[in-house]
Amino acid sequence: MSQTDEPPITNEALEALRDKIDAVDHQLVDLINQRAKYVVEVGNLKRGTNVPIYAPHREAAVLRKIQSFNKGPIHDRTLEAVYRELMSGSFALEQPLRIGYLGPVGTFSHLAATKQFGSSVAFEDLRQIEGVFEEVTRGHVDYGLVPIENSTGGGINETLDAFLTYHDQLNIYGEVQLAIHFCLLSNGNPENIKRIYSKAEAFAQCRNWLSTQYPNAQRIPAESTAAAAQQAKEEFDADPESGSAAIGSSLAGEIYGLHSLFDAIEDRQQNVTRFLILSKSETEVSGDDKTSVMFTTDHHPGALVDTLSVFKRNSINLTHIEKRPSREVNWDYTFFVDIEGHRKDQKIAEIIGEARAHCKNFQVLGSFPACQRTL
243-280 confidence digits (pLDDT tens) = 999 999 999 999 999 999 999 999 998 899 999 999 99
Interhelix angle 76-94/108-117, rounded to 10 degrees, is 80
| DSSP structural state of residue 104 | S
- Measured CA angle at 108 (ends 337, 342), to 5 deg: 30
Burial 284-320 (b: 16+ CB within 10 A, else e): eebeebbbbbbbbbeeeeeebebbbebbeeeebeeee
pTM: 0.87
Q: What is the pLDDT of residue 53?
A: 83
| Antiparallel, parallel or unpaired: β 244-248 and 195-198 | parallel
Where along the chain do its domains lie?
A: 52-180+269-279, 183-262, 287-364
In this prediction, the residues of the chain whose per-residue pLDDT falls under 70 are 1-7
| Antiparallel, parallel or unpaired: β 259-262 and 154-155 | unpaired
Q: What is the pLDDT of residue 372?
A: 87
Q: What is the pLDDT of residue 4?
A: 55
The CATH number given to 183-262 is 3.40.190.10
Q: What is the pLDDT of residue 1?
A: 46
Same fold, 52-180+269-279 and 183-262: yes
Determine whether domain 52-180+269-279 maps to CATH 3.40.50.300.
no
The CATH number given to 287-364 is 3.30.70.260
Q: What is the pLDDT of residue 3?
A: 52
Q: What is the pLDDT of residue 7?
A: 64
Rg, C-alpha atoms of the chain: 24
